[in-house]
Structures are given as C-alpha cells and as structure tokens.
Amino acid sequence: MNHSKNFKNPENNVCTNGVEGFWNVMKRSLRKKNVMNSILLAEHIDEFMWRKAYVTKDVNPLDVLLQHITERYPETE
C-alpha cells in the first residue's frame, strides 16, 4: 500500500489505516485459533467479519444466527 499517494481511497473514502487495523485484529484472532494455514481460512474470515458486524457483548451469537436464518428462509405454507 502506497501511503504517499492517498490515505483515503478517493473512490469510496475508505481510510487505509482503518483497513490495515482491521486486518491486524483479524490476523491476531485467526492466529490464536491456529487457522492461518487451514483450508477453511476463508470460512474463518467470514465468521470473524460476521461477528464484528452483528454480535455484541450483550447478544448471544446463536440468537443472532437463528434470527438471520429465519429472515433469509421464512416459513412458507
């Protein structure tokens, strides 16, 4: 990444420091789980990003997952 040109992407206004910081937090988390060389690395990244987007300290991840499943697959009669 070339910081001498832009710190923010001119197209979407995303700050490169924010992206790099998020990547570092994610790498630390994945290394603790020892999955950096796993064939399921992409799935672990998906889970990490989902948890960051939807799960908070006062919310049970299973409840959020079940809510998302019922929203995506509503019952049909």
Domain-embedded: residue 9: no
φ, ψ of residue 33 to 5 degrees: the values are: -85, -5
Domain-embedded: residue 57: yes
Domain-embedded: residue 21: yes
Give which of 37, 14, 36 is closest to 26, Cα–Cα: 36
Domain-embedded: residue 77: no
Domain count, the chain: 1
Q: Identity (one letter) of the amino acid at 10?
A: P
Domain-embedded: residue 39: yes
Domain that holds residue 55: 16-72
- Average pLDDT (3-22) is 78
Domain-embedded: residue 31: yes
Q: How confident is the model at residue 15 (pLDDT cuts 50, 70, 90)?
A: confident
Question: Model confidence over 20-76: pLDDT tens digits?
Answer: 889 999 999 999 999 989 999 999 999 999 999 999 989 999 999 999 999 999 887
pTM of the predicted model, to two decimals?
A: 0.70
